[in-house]
Chains A and B, each alone.
Chain A
Amino acid sequence: MGAEAILRVDGLSMYFPVYRGVLRKKVGEIKAVDEVSFDIAKGETLGLVGESGCGKSTTGRAILKLYDPTAGRIELQGKDITDLEGDALREIRTDMQMIFQDPQACLNPRMTVGSIIAEPLDEHTRLKKRQKRERVRELLNAVGMNPDFENRYPHEFSGGQRQRIGIARALALEPKFIVCDEPIAALDVSIQAQVVNLLEDLQKEHDLTYLFISHDLSMVRHIADRIAVMYLGRLVELAPRQQLYTMPRHPYTKALLSAVPEPDPAREAVRERIILKGDVPSPANPPSGCNFSTRCPIAEEKCRRETPAWREMDGGRFVACHMVQ
């Protein structure tokens, strides 16, 4: 991590309280995100992978301050934004934006495409009507759409086009950092490639930094520079792409990667799958010690007692496992 970090997340935790009973007594909490720490360097793409419900999206949203984190520290461009509120928070939002998973739901069906993309401009700039329209048309052009579509409504577009509109909106304020929350999960495969390529082009052009949340390992391999793997609210491994895919260290990462099918039939035939037993424990009641210890093929007594520390290994790799030396 030689380059300066644009985003630094330190011990970020997001617990959701669980209330029960007539008196709405707090009976526990869901540890959606638990002590997550990582840096993202300027211009880099950090992939965040994990299975459904492991807290990927919550991490992304907590970083953007869409939730109030329970604990931890978020630093954007060296500035602590964890406790910002009101106008100060609004101001910082111009530097960080989000691209959403569901292109159907992320655009207001009652607004024209033009006014959807212009919303960030309305909120943060004092452009004249004419300049605003020019900017909107420019943005539509930048994401590969006909600028004349500005008068149309979201329902008139396909999923891929709608995702482009969402990207144009995220770009409107020229942010430095964008959280892509599974931006391709709801698209079909041919469109996925287009959108990912568009994201890459835009990154080069505008010097963007991405946190790319996905469960599609092959897509993350394509776009991300470094990859973080999450399990049950905790990071288990973070490594540069090449290292992670060729030599995963954490048993969960190994199992996860072994599930990726090989395009080559000869290699596919000899692919060894590590099949995990059991289900993911509930985040309301995580196991003691290592979160993964209930399903880990190599777990020992120590794993069930002590939570493994988030350790830095050689080559910029981080692992949270007692068994990895």
Chain B
Amino acid sequence: MSDIVVEEMPEHRSLWGDVWSQFRTHKGALVGTLVFLFIVLVVVFGPYFHTIDPQFLDIRNKNLSPSWEHPMGTDNLGRDTLAQVMAGGRVSLLVGVVAMLLSLVVGAAIGVLAGYFKKLDGPLMRLTDLFLALPLLPLLLVIIMLFRDTLRSAFGPETGIFILIVFVIGITSWMQTARIVRGDVLTIKEQEFVVAAHSIGTPSRRIISRHILPNVLSPIMVSATLGIANAIITESALSFLGLGFPSDFPTWGRLLYDGANFMQLTPARVIWPGLAISLTVLSVNYMGDGLRDALDPRIRGR
């Protein structure tokens, strides 16, 4: 039911205005965005209000239950859990987002190139198969062994390991995106509007950016939102194996694994980081869902 109202002003409708107005109608996406923003704000600005150093050991106040002084209690070494969750969140969110972006760019680029250029299809897809077939954990071990010390000395211990982890996660998680994108590109490039663009004389690079990419946005969007979750969880696993950030450097995954041994004594130590991971993943998924709908003009305005 579209009401036919002739616009009084023939002003150009802005794409992002349309996207935003559709996005607002998606309740899940709106709630997701608010939750995600809330998490980001707490993680970024929280430490200015809750000023306990996450590394500060207060052995006499170990294993406390939540109190006004320590809203999430303390761990077995007397460190404040809230401070650690906030400090860990900064790292986890950053790793999640950057690793996702990296894997997305690599995956989408390889998928589009393989789908669009017939000559590249074989080599690029075999490369993807190769990466899919690699045993992930030994590969990670080797990469980290080889490059950890070089990167640490080049960029400092924290930045060095951050670059390494983001790179490792990104480089081992782009394959699904690439495959899905390639499949979609293969169907879209046979559509008549792409032939029409050829007949107009649009060069390949602009056919890709103008016609192909916007039409494969949905699968890219989906793998992006799943990618953040995946990256946060992979980082946790790496930290657990002792391959990630140093053990005194809190991340959500690290806190979770450290807290797992004390679950019966101080359940708050697993509940809060776990909740933070779940909420982030969930809210990002809803955001991605809403954004995907909002970017599709066929759904928009319905």
Contact = CB atoms under 8 A, between A and B. Distances in A.
Interface residues of A, number: 39
A153 B19 CA distance: 13
Contacts of B201: 89-91, 93-94, 120, 123-124
Contacts of A97: 199-200
Interface in A139-194: 146-148, 150-151, 153, 155-156, 166, 169
Interface string B128-163: 000000000000000000000000000000000000
Nearest to A150: B10
B9 to A, nearest CB: 9
A128 interface: no
A156 B2 contact: yes
A155 B297 CA distance: 8
Contacts of A102: 192
A197 interface: no
Nearest to B188: A108
B6 A148 contact: yes
A153 B22 CA distance: 15
Range of interface residues on B (Cβ < 8 Å): 20 to 34
A238 interface: no
B192 A105 contact: yes
Interface string B213-232: 01100000000000000000
Given A109-B297, A151-B7, A98 B199 contact: yes
Name the 6 nearest CB pairs between A and B, nearest first. A93-B201, A90-B201, A106-B192, A153-B297, A105-B192, A151-B13
Given A96-B199, A108-B214, A114-B12, 11 more contacts: A93-B201, A98-B199, A106-B195, A112-B13, A120-B200, A120-B201, A123-B201, A153-B297, A155-B298, A156-B2, A166-B196
Interface of A: 61, 64, 66, 89-91, 93-94, 96-98, 100-102, 105-112, 114, 119-120, 123-124, 133, 137, 146-148, 150-151, 153, 155-156, 166, 169
14 contacts: A66-B195, A90-B201, A97-B199, A100-B192, A106-B196, A110-B215, A119-B200, A120-B201, A123-B200, A123-B202, A137-B10, A147-B10, A148-B6, A150-B10
